[in-house]
């Protein structure tokens, strides 16, 4: 799961940030291996792919909707990957 966020300035000048989590699935073998090895919490990445919509029933028997990004490509926006290779 990855997150995105956007900040808003409050009337007191503080920045309030809303976080949105995204479920990302990677099926391409080479891309999956790179994602598993290098994508860590806090990594800045851009994910290109398709959206997949589905439903599931949670443990409380409530029907939920889910959106998943099926990754075709991952672009690393931070330099962390360069430091590890």
- Summarised one tens digit per residue, pLDDT across range 46-82 is 999 999 999 999 999 999 999 999 999 999 997 655 5
Its pTM stands at 0.65
Question: Alpha helices of the chain — where are they, by DSSP H?
Answer: 29-38, 80-84
For 51, the enclosing helix (H) or strand (E) is strand 45-57
Domains within the chain, CATH numbers bracketed = 23-84 (2.40.50.140)
Cα(68)–Cα(64) distance, rounded to whole angstroms?
13
């Amino acid at each position: 799961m990855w997150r995105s966020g956007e900040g808003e300035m409050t009337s007191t000048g503080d920045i309030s940030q809303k976080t949105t989590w995204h479920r990302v699935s990677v099926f391409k073998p080479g891309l999956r291996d790179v994602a598993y090895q290098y994508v860590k919490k806090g990594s800045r990445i851009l994910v290109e792919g398709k959206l997949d919509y589905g439903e599931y029933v949670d443990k409380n028997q409530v029907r939920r909707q889910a959106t998943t990004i099926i990754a075709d490509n991952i672009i690393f926006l931070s330099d962390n990957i360069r430091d590890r290779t």
